Structure 1
Amino acid sequence: MTDVRVTHIGGPTTLIEVDGWRLLTDPTFDPPGRRYSFGWGTSSRKTSGPALAVADLPPVDAVLLTHDHHGDNLDTAGRALLPTADVVLTTPAGARRLGGNARGLAPWTTTRLEAPGRKTIDVTATPARHGPPLSRPVTGQVTGFALRWEGQRHGVLWISGDTVLHDGVRHVARRLDVGTALLHMGGVRFPLTGPVRYTMTAAQAVELCRLLAPRTAFPVHYEGWHHFRENREAIERRLASAPADIRDRFRWLPAGTGVDVTV
C-alpha cells in the first residue's frame, strides 16, 4: 500500500508525488485574462490563474501531457517548463511537434519511469476522444494515462485526459482496475458548434464511475475558462441525484494544497 500526494494547481494541472517521483500533468501556469485560440474558429478566455507558480514547484521528473495543442492544457509558461523535466510523455503527434525530451505513446502502449532507490512506475497511454464521433481530425490526438507501480492495493491511478465518454474510455473500465481517477470534466462546448460537447459532462462521469468503480474519483479541469459549461456547482447538483455508492466516490481537491491518497 502506497500513499500518493496529489496537489491540484488549477485546470488540468496536478502534481502527483509518489515514492520520490514528482509527476506534473498538463502544465498551465499563465495568469488569467488572455484569450486562446483552439482552432477552427473556436477560442476561450482564461478566467483564473494557478494556485502555485512555476517557482513554487519542486523539481519535476516527468510531465504527463494529455495533449500539447490546446492552451488550456499547455500554455506559454507550461511550455517553457517542459525542458526542465527528464521526460515529457504525450501523444505521438505531440511528441513530433515538441521534439526534445518528449516521448509519444500510442493508446495501450507502456513506458517505464525508472530511477535508483525508487519504485518503477509503468505509464500506459489510454484512449481519449476530445469530442463527438469523427472529431479527431479537428480536435487532434489526446491521451489518458494509467500509472502502475509495485505495492498498489486499490488499483491503478488513472488520468482521463480531455475526453467524452466513448467506447475507448469504456474499454479502460474493462481492461484496468482503477483505484483512483482524475477525471477531466466541465462539459466543454462552443457557440460555433452548438450543443456538441468536447469533454465529459457530470452525467457521463457518473456513468463512467459506475463502470470503473474506482475507490476515489477527483474532478479536475472543470472551471477557470469560459468554455466550461459545468462548474463545481453544476457537477454537485448532478451528483446529488446519483446513487450513493457512486456519489460517495467523488472527492474535491483543494486548490494548491496536497491531498494524501492511499492507493
Structure 2
Amino acid sequence: MSPALDADVTFIGNATTLLRLGTFTLLTDPAFGPAGSRVHLGWGAWTRRLRDPAMAYADLPPLDLVLLSHLHGDHFDRAARRALPSTLPIVTTPQAQRRLRRRDFTTTGLPTWDAREWRRDGQLLRITALPGRHGPGLVDRLLPDVMGSLIEWEVDGAPRLRLYITGDTLYRPHLGEIRQRCGEIDAMLIHLGGTRLLGLLLTMDGRQGADLTGLIRPRLTLPIHYDDYAVMKSPLSDFLTECRNRSLTRVRALERGETVALSPAL
C-alpha cells in the first residue's frame, strides 16, 4: 500500500501520540517534559512526570495540526508550549481556545458535536468534538472542559478510518450516544490511569475503561495515559485484567515509541 494510503499511530507517552492518516499528520495532547519535571493541574495542584517521552518535538515529521483534548499541564506542558510554532493549528475546546489565543497560538474551538474538515489530494480529514466529563458531579465545573474526538479519514469519498480518542473523561452511560451517532468505531485510543486528586477519581480506572470498551465495542482498543504521572493510581494491568475477565478482545497494549497500524479491516 502507498504511504499516502496508510494509517498508523505512534505512542510517544501519556496522551501524546503521532497520527499519520494518509496525507495528514496529527499530534495529540503534546507533552514533552522529561521524567522528573513538574506540571501544574490548577487550583494549586501539581504532579511530577515519572517517565520520559519516547520522542522529542524535534524528532517529529512536519505536522498539519495538533489535537488538544483539554488544557491541563500533563497534556500541554511547558516544553510543548516552547516548542510548538504559534502558526501550527490547534483544535481544542472553546475554553482552551480562548486561553491559547491570549498566548498567540492559532486555535479552533469545537463545541460538542461540531466538526471541522480538511481536504488534500482527494483525501478528507474530519474531526468532531465528542462529549466528556473530567470529574464527578459539581467537581467537573472546577476542571478544564474536556472533549473526546472522532477522527474520520476518507480517500476519494470512501471511508477509510473512524478513530475515537476519549480524552480525559470518566465513564458515563450517555457516552453510548457516540456509537449511536457515529456508527461503528474502527479504533479507540482510551485515556486511563485512574487519576486521583484529594481522593476523587478524575480519569477512568481499569473498571471504567472496560465499561467504555464494552459500550463502544471498537474493532481495536489502544490504552494510553496510564502511568506517566504520579497522580495516576490505576496501572495498565487493571484495565487489561478487567477486559480479559469480560472477554473483551481486540485490546492491544502499546510500548512507548511503538507504531501500530490502524485499519478498518482490523
User: Structure 1 length normalisation: TM-score?
Assistant: 0.90
Kindly provide the amino acid, as one letter, of the partner of residue 71 in structure 1. Answer: G
Distance 2:16 2:75 in 1: 8
Distance 1:3 1:125 in 2: 24
Could you say which residue in structure 1 is the equivalent of 2:256?
Answer: 255
Q: Over the residues paired in the alignment, what is the CA RMSD in angstroms?
A: 1.8
Could you say which residue in structure 2 is the equivalent of 1:182?
Answer: 189
- Conserved in 1, the CA contact under 8 Å of 2:169 and 2:202? yes
Q: Tell me the SS of whatever aligns to 1:95.
A: helix
Q: Tell me the SS of whatever aligns to 2:128.
A: strand
1:154-212 deviations in whole A, cap 9, x for unaligned? x610100001012442321322221110000111112x2x2x21011211121212221
Structure 1 position 170 matched with structure 2 position 176: yes
The alpha carbon displacement at 1:71 in A equals: 1.1
Kindly provide the amino acid, as one letter, of the partner of residue 229 in structure 2. Answer: W
Which of 15, 21, 28 is the matching residue for 2:31? 28
Kindly provide the amino acid, as one letter, of the partner of residue 188 in structure 1. Answer: T
Distance 2:209 2:159 in 1: 24
Which of 75, 78, 83 is the matching residue for 1:76? 78
1:100-151 deviations in whole A, cap 9, x for unaligned? 3110000000011223x15111110001111112223211211111011223
Distance 2:254 2:230 in 1: 21
Q: Tell me the SS of whatever aligns to 2:126.
A: strand
* Higher mean C-alpha deviation, range 74-83 or range 15-24: 74-83
Aligned positions, number: 254
The alpha carbon displacement at 1:44 in A equals: 1.2
Which of 84, 87, 107 is the matching residue for 1:102? 107
Could you say which residue in structure 2 is the equivalent of 1:230?
Answer: 234
Which ranges of 4 or more aligned residues in structure 1 deviate by more than 3 Å?
A: none
- The 1:234/1:211 distance shift into structure 2, 3 A limit, reads closer
Which of 41, 46, 55 is the matching residue for 2:49? 46
Q: Which runs of 5+ in 2 are unaligned?
A: none
- Conserved in 2, the CA contact under 8 Å of 1:66 and 1:161? yes
Distance 1:52 1:61 in 2: 18
Distance 1:136 1:118 in 2: 41
User: Structure 2 length normalisation: TM-score?
Assistant: 0.90
Could you say which residue in structure 1 is the equivalent of 2:90?
Answer: 88
- Conserved in 2, the CA contact under 8 Å of 1:162 and 1:184? yes
Distance 1:221 1:55 in 2: 22
Q: Which runs of 5+ in 1 are unaligned?
A: none
Could you say which residue in structure 2 is the equivalent of 1:37?
Answer: 40
Structure 1 position 9 matched with structure 2 position 12: yes
The alpha carbon displacement at 1:86 in A equals: 3.6
Could you say which residue in structure 2 is the equivalent of 1:132?
Answer: 136
**Percent identity between the two aligned chains:** 37
